[in-house]
Amino acid sequence: MGKSEKEKMITGELFDVYNDELVAERGAARKQVEAINALGESDPEQSEKLVKKLFGSTGKDVSVHASFKCDYGYNIYVDEDFFANYDCVMLDVAPIRIGKHCLLGPKVQIYSVNHPADPKLRRNGAMGIGKPVTLGDDVWVGGGAIICPGVTLGNNVIVGAGSVVTKSFGDNVVVAGNPARVVKHLD
């Protein structure tokens, strides 16, 4: 028997975005996200409990401000001391892994999904392909930055506000621009 569309999605193969199982899982995640967003900052402890239930795994001290958006939640893995500011989006078709002590500024977008180059396959958004995104420890992503599918950032990386990160970078750098490039090496 062949792989399910969910298995294809998670393993980075071309998959049917409108598969019934995946549509249902996105719907369930949206309900959880709406509950998190409805709390806002009024009950940080309850909000953290809901985030921990939504995400694939978390460390301690996880804070996600409204209005947060994601596709599934279960493909997001964050370690301890994680903070996502207002209006962050994580399209978690493939795993998004974020290390310890990481900060996401407002309106940061992390995409682990892409669509095929063949126009027949991408019509109506029907086919997708996942590429994991990994952020190391002590990463700070400035407001409005976009992290594209397949990107890995090492430890102690700072992404300048408004940057578009289209390729991977190693440890101890500041990257900025569109496309992002190294603008400074850190000690």
Cite the active site residues.
115
- Cα separation of the two ends of the chain: 52
Which pair of structure tokens corresponds to residue 126? 């029907």
CA angle 31, 33, 35 (to 5 degrees): 70
C-alpha distances in Å from residue 88, one per residue of 51, 62, 66, 117: 13, 14, 8, 27
For 55-91, b/e burial (b = at least 16 CB within 10 A) is beebbeebebbbebebbbbbbbbbbebbbbbbbbbbb
Q: Which long-range contacts (C-beta less than 8 Å, at least 24 apart) are formed by 79-82?
A: 79/137, 82/58
Locate all alpha helices (DSSP H) within the chain, ordered by sequence: 5-10, 20-39, 44-54, 119-122
Which pair of structure tokens corresponds to residue 139? 């990463």
